[in-house]
A = this chain, B = another copy of it.
Amino acid sequence: MPTRIAIIGGDAAGMSAASRARRQDPTSEITVFEQAGVASYGACGMPYHLDGRIPDPTTLIVRTPAEFAQANIDLQLHSRVVEINTASQYVDVQSTCEKSARPTKHHFDKLLIATGAEAVQPRIAGCDRQNVFLFKTFADMLRIEKYLQKSIVRNVTIVGAGYLGIELAEVLTLRGLQTRLLDLAGTVMSKSLDHDISQLVLQELNSHGVLSILGESLLALNGPSNLVREVVTSHGQWETDLVVIVMGVRPASDLAKRADLALDKFGAIQVNSRQETTQANIWAAGDCTSAMHRISGTPTWIPLGPQANKQGRIAGANMVGQSLEFPGILGTAFVKAFDLHIGRTGLNEAEASAAGLEFTSKTITASDRAPYYPGGGPTTIRLIAEKSTGKLIGGQVIGRAGVPGRTNVIATAMHSHMTVSDLSELDLGYAPPFAPVWDPLIVAANQF
């Protein structure tokens, strides 16, 4: 009898696991349960449907259920796993279409939990009004687009100035809407960037007409009937036609918790580097799990797509008999705010302090290409190094070109424990359209 592999969650981690398991083991039965009506889509592309940059949202779908079926992977949409029975090794699956139908049992030999993350919602009245939206799923995106098309919307309020809030501020402004960006923190991207670096992002947003309301807490969403017309914060209020809530996410680990799997201090499912949970025959991967941070050396919860895919791939291989280990994360991430590109990797100053590291931080601003070559602009680079050893522990890069590449070089250098002195010795390429002869990274490394 073939091994029965069940996977809960049909996005990055789940589908990477399914594909990898199938490649390694042609005979196992692989079933994926996805509660939504769509799976395997590029969630990070969703903001760009709202300004028409990605006109057809179905292009976000990487592989369809039919394509998975061709690979002999049974992807069941509208199928929510409501319970995991670890002793008898089955899951109860409830249709999300026919909610009156009774759950069906599905037995497994091996189970992967890839339930991802779920949106955090404010605990205030008004969140259930018709013009208040989360922006977490494909369905959320479609709902907002539909509302924008059929209603008169002039003013939008975005609650949360993280990556997603910034991307939404860009696309909704470019759609012609007056956009307000609200965050409890005193700046944007407060968790990812150091305060002064985040000011560069804020300037870019403001210069494109985004109104920022920072350091204020959301108190009320008021309105006459089933619509919110007014946002009230600790410092003021304003009119709004639409509210999008992107305050952050948390691990979707309730199902695992109810099945007595251990969670960690982030509320994420506890896994080792082979993505094994505390229960035999059950793996977990992606945003519902933490991962070892390669710099701090401690488990850290940073939900990002690339590691979800990589962890899924590792879990998929291990479920069919391999023994791969996930090497950990650096929290490398990019975001675009209008014409400004932002990259960060490793620890920022606050994270370095929290990790108990004594550090030195140096910041430079230099031309992103040869200064005489047209089209260039300033790139700001912050490097953070451990004080005692000079070991690179983090970097932030902000500019209008070359940002992803320079951020990735810092990540690569940290991967192999380079010092800032090693970084200054790198043989980085040069040509006037792409870099100055002293690359800004080398200039930054030479400051130490």
- Which residues in A have some Cβ–Cβ distance to B below 8 Å? 12, 42, 44-45, 48, 53-54, 59-60, 294, 304-307, 309-310, 327-336, 341, 343, 345, 370-374, 402-409, 411-413, 415-416, 418, 422, 425-435, 437-439, 442
Task: Check if B42 sits within 8 Å of A428, measured CB to CB.
Answer: no
Task: Check if B404 sits within 8 Å of A426, measured CB to CB.
Answer: no
Nearest 9 CB-CB pairs, A to B?
Answer: A405-B405, A416-B416, A334-B431, A330-B427, A59-B372, A404-B434, A412-B412, A332-B429, A334-B429
A329 to B433, CA, bound (A): 22
A437 to B335, CA, bound (A): 13
| Given A307-B427, A327-B425, 6 more pairs with CB closer than 8 A | A59-B372, A306-B429, A333-B431, A404-B431, A408-B426, A412-B413
Task: Check if B42 sits within 8 Å of A370, measured CB to CB.
Answer: yes
A406 to B427, CA, bound (A): 13
A442 to B307, CA, bound (A): 12
Knowing A45-B373, A434-B404, say if A345 contacts B416 (CB, 8 Å). no
Task: Check if B335 sits within 8 Å of A427, measured CB to CB.
Answer: no
Task: Check if A427 sits within 8 Å of B329, measured CB to CB.
Answer: yes
Task: Check if B411 sits within 8 Å of A408, measured CB to CB.
Answer: no
Query: A12 — which chain B residues lie within 8 A by C-beta?
Result: 437
Task: Check if A306 sits within 8 Å of B42, measured CB to CB.
Answer: no
Task: Check if A336 sits within 8 Å of B433, measured CB to CB.
Answer: yes
CB distance from A171 to the nearest CB of B (A): 12
Task: Check if A372 sits within 8 Å of B45, measured CB to CB.
Answer: yes
Task: Check if A336 sits within 8 Å of B431, measured CB to CB.
Answer: yes
Query: A409 — which chain B residues lie within 8 A by C-beta?
Result: 405, 408-409, 412
Task: Check if B415 sits within 8 Å of A422, measured CB to CB.
Answer: yes
A142 to B410, CA, bound (A): 40
Query: A335 — which chain B residues lie within 8 A by C-beta?
Result: 431
CB distance from A16 to the nearest CB of B (A): 9
A48 to B433, CA, bound (A): 10
Chain B residue with the shortest CB-CB distance to A325: B425
A294 to B422, CA, bound (A): 14
A431 to B167, CA, bound (A): 10
Task: Check if A412 sits within 8 Å of B429, measured CB to CB.
Answer: no
Contact of A430 (CB < 8 Å), options: B53, B306, B405, B432: B306
Task: Check if A374 sits within 8 Å of B427, measured CB to CB.
Answer: no
A60 to B432, CA, bound (A): 10
